[in-house]
């Protein structure tokens, strides 16, 4: 057994290669091999978002506070709110972030396949982000 004390995992700024806007990532856990789970709390300031990306074994997002947006490639932009849980299937190209006028905090959970948790792709354009909400 290993106990990671609160404050032992430093917060980090979401890198500009993978995020637009102000994003803070607070690691929650990363299980040692052979386990492959990882979790983080991610805080998005208004308008901030991830780049398009995929996860080899899928991703679960649980919104803790605020109002955000999520979109699958080719699908509508969807609103997500505190208490919502989103499942994104393995390999589905997607992005997620805050609403234009509100912050959003979510817990992101994913597993690694062959050591990889995520494949980062191109940035979400302002036009994509500001598309009319659907579904």
Please tell me the distance from the alpha carbon of residue 48 to that of residue 120, in angstroms, as a whole number: 16
Please tell me the distance from the alpha carbon of residue 99 to that of residue 46, in angstroms, as a whole number: 6
Say what the pTM is: 0.94
pLDDT of residue 73: 98
pLDDT of residue 110: 97
pLDDT of residue 94: 98
pLDDT of residue 19: 98
pLDDT of residue 54: 98
pLDDT of residue 135: 72
Low-confidence spans in the chain with pLDDT less than 50? none
């Amino acid at each position: 057994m290993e106990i990671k004390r609160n404050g032992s995992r430093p917060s980090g700024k979401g890198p500009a290669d993978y995020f637009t806007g102000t994003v803070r990532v607070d690691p929650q856990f990363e299980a040692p091999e052979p386990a492959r789970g990882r979790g983080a709390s991610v805080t998005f300031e208004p308008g901030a978002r991830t780049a398009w990306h995929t996860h080899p074994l899928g991703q679960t997002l649980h919104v803790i506070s605020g109002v955000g947006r999520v979109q699958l490639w080719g699908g509508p932009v969807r609103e997500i709110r505190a208490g919502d849980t989103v499942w994104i299937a393995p390999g589905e190209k997607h992005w997620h972030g805050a609403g234009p006028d509100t912050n959003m905090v979510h817990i992101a959970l994913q597993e690694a396949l062959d050591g990889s948790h995520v494949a980062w792709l191109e940035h979400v354009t302002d036009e994509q982000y500001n598309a009319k909400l659907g579904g």
